Structure 1
Amino acid sequence: MSYDNIKTRKPYEITNENRSQFIGYTRELTLLNRTIDIKLNDFKTFITTAIQQAPKTVPDKIDKLLINLSRLANNPSSDIEINPVKDYALGYCVDENEFKYYLKYLDEINFFKQNRGSQGYKITVDGWKKIQDLSIIKNVSEQCFIAMWFTDEMNKVYLDYISKAIERAGYKPMIIPDVKHDNEVTSQILAEIQKSKFMIADFTGQRAGVYFEAGFAKGLGLNVIWTCKKDWFDNKEAENEGEYKINDQWKKGIIKEERHTHFDVNHRQFILWEYDAKEKLNKFEEDIYNSIVEQFGEGPLKSKGNQDSK
């Protein structure tokens, strides 16, 4: 893949500074086998996501390069074929010269070596140890980010059941209350997702923000626990009393709304919940708790709590 011909047209033009971040993010998604389907009206959001996730410092770029190189290896001892002209995006580099500079450094510290007499490279044992260390650092987070719709009912479900399941499992719930999504708040949300070990995304209400945040988490490689209120998942049409606007006048009446998850996510294994009985909500809490422990084990706050109780 060559990146020199990637251009954008106004009003979605990106600066040279952000170009390497956009290209690097796209290449990384490809390595992770993520589907890249960017509609024109989503392009600015995609660029924002790329800039947020991209490594900014030289050490972070080198770490990211080493991780991405490992994704090219079929097994620890396999050769890796790279071409600086085509592959400089692996390190979110501006050009091939920056890429070669980082490769030289990885060679000097014995993390990545070129095979004698060939264009192939290998990650050394020391390199694989470093990759494991980077993975451990990422996974020591005690935080779970929750993406959800903010209504009185959902707030109660979060406080009484979702957050309790997270805390019982030994993790800290992180939620950012519903406010106007300006650039500052969006940056805060993305930063907290990046600091999290995993996410719980509840699709009740089919909020666009939940879809975006869950997609961002998946792009980072985080596991997402998918939840939804049953009557918002079962592809039903609901009728509710409400207000609607006709000819600039507000009127009261029955509003029909379609309730179903988007086909991009409805094949996931969802934990469904119902609000009509406490027993069902207790089961919802237990299902979340079990899912967390099965996927991630008990969190660091669980051990801390046990020590404090002694």
Structure 2
Amino acid sequence: MAKSRQLEPRLSAWIRERFEAGADIPEVNSNTLEEVAKILPDYKVAEKQLILLRVFERRTAFPGQAIDIHPNFDFPLAWAAGEEEFLYLLRSLIDRGLVRRTDGPSDLTDSFVFKVEITANGWDFLDQHSRPSVISDQAFVAMSFSPELKSAWENAIRPALTKAKFRPYRVDAEPHIDRIDTKIVTEIKNSKFLVADVTQQRPGVYFEAGYALGLGIPVFWCVRANDLQNVHFDTRQYNHIVWTDENDLAEQLYLFVSAVIGTGTAI
């Protein structure tokens, strides 16, 4: 029961965020709830403040515009547990000089609706913490480029993501003239989620997955069954798709992505 109460705000926030972005909202039922729960982020206070500021950014048509905020309705947008936490996050943004209220005092005790605008400092802060829109059909794939795992990419991961109507992207799969590190960072930012197959324990895969997590981008962890015992201790708490062969990996990955992210729009 306690676990259900802890999950409910995050689930509401996840659904509301996807609705606001115009993204597909997959069906959540008793069969998929457990898998969805495993990948829902549990944001820290500072992360929730940034998420709320980005909400204001999305709703602002031009700098200096005041927008309406309804805490009792909008609290899921900040991944807050309720109106009280939402107001705390909003006060924090005001105290930090990133947002100001334009229709009254900053104590936020006199109304159910507030008009706020992003300050010049707020716009600078957003520039420093920029990330792309959550609407993307690209799925970044981080994995070992070893010939031994070529079949896992070609016969499992790529077709599974394509079946879910996402565009699988692996940094070695298309020609480019960019620095490889710059290309990786850019394409992770441009992706809706990341698939990290840690089989063979490549440090680069862990780095790319960690970078995605830092941006709030969902990560699907995969590992071949005979390498499960070698998974790094820092990531063992995450649910892994443990696969035995390409067919197993393809089936599990497709089901996980469909249950948690939904269906993309790539043809």
TM-score, structure 1 normalization: 0.50
Cα separation, partners in 2 of 1:169 and 1:74, compared to 1, 3 Å: closer
Q: What is the match of residue 63 of structure 1?
A: 57
Report the 3-state secondary structure (helix = DSSP H, G, I; strand = E; otherwise coil) of the residue aligned with 2:99: helix
Question: 1:72, 1:298 → 2: CA distance?
Answer: 23
Q: CA deviation at 1:202?
A: 0.6
Which whole-Å deviations, capped at 9, do the CAs of 1:54-105 have from their partners, x for residues lacking one?
A: 9xxxx979739x99xx6485524753374679x53xxxxxxxxxx3xx524x
**Contact 2:87–2:108 at 8 Å: present in 1 too?**
no
Structure 2: which amino acid aligns with 1:266? R
**Contact 1:229–1:273 at 8 Å: present in 2 too?**
yes
The answer on 1:232 being equivalent to 2:227 is yes
Question: 1:62, 1:261 → 2: CA distance?
Answer: 39
Select which of 190, 193, 202 maps to 1:195.
Answer: 190
Select which of 155, 163, 166 maps to 1:160.
Answer: 155
Cα separation, partners in 2 of 1:267 and 1:73, compared to 1, 3 Å: closer
Question: 1:198, 1:208 → 2: CA distance?
Answer: 19
Q: What is the match of residue 31 of structure 1?
A: 46
**Contact 1:168–1:289 at 8 Å: present in 2 too?**
yes
Question: 2:114, 2:257 → 1: CA distance?
Answer: 32
Q: CA deviation at 1:121?
A: 9.2
The answer on 1:299 being equivalent to 2:264 is yes
Question: 1:126, 1:170 → 2: CA distance?
Answer: 39
Question: 1:176, 1:268 → 2: CA distance?
Answer: 24
Q: Which runs of 5+ in 1 are unaligned?
A: 1-27, 34-53, 89-98, 128-136, 236-259, 275-279, 306-310
Q: What is the match of residue 269 of structure 1?
A: 239
Cα separation, partners in 2 of 1:124 and 1:141, compared to 1, 3 Å: farther
Q: CA deviation at 1:120?
A: 6.2
Which runs of structure 2 are paired with 1:121-132 in the superposition (5 Å)? Answer: 124=113
Q: Indicate the structure (1 or 2) with the bigger Cα radius of gyration.
A: 1
Q: What is the match of residue 257 of structure 1?
A: none
Report the 3-state secondary structure (helix = DSSP H, G, I; strand = E; otherwise coil) of the residue aligned with 2:242: strand
The answer on 1:215 being equivalent to 2:222 is no
**Contact 2:140–2:187 at 8 Å: present in 1 too?**
yes
Q: What is the match of residue 205 of structure 1?
A: 200
Q: What is the match of residue 142 of structure 2?
A: 147
Q: What is the match of residue 285 of structure 1?
A: 250
Aligned-residue RMSD, C-alpha? 4.0
TM-score, structure 2 normalization: 0.58
Cα separation, partners in 2 of 1:103 and 1:145, compared to 1, 3 Å: same
Higher relative contact order, chain-length normalized (CA < 8 Å, sep 6+)? 2
Q: Which runs of 5+ in 2 are unaligned?
A: 1-42, 59-68, 117-131
Structure 2: which amino acid aligns with 1:80? Y
Report the 3-state secondary structure (helix = DSSP H, G, I; strand = E; otherwise coil) of the residue aligned with 2:171: coil
Structure 2: which amino acid aligns with 1:31? A
Select which of 71, 82, 89 maps to 1:75.
Answer: 82
Which whole-Å deviations, capped at 9, do the CAs of 1:124-149 have from their partners, x for residues lacking one?
A: 4787xxxxxxxxx8332101001111
Question: 2:217, 2:224 → 1: CA distance?
Answer: 23
Question: 1:226, 1:29 → 2: CA distance?
Answer: 22
Cα separation, partners in 2 of 1:285 and 1:122, compared to 1, 3 Å: farther
Aligned positions, number: 188
Cα separation, partners in 2 of 1:79 and 1:210, compared to 1, 3 Å: same
Report the 3-state secondary structure (helix = DSSP H, G, I; strand = E; otherwise coil) of the residue aligned with 1:288: helix
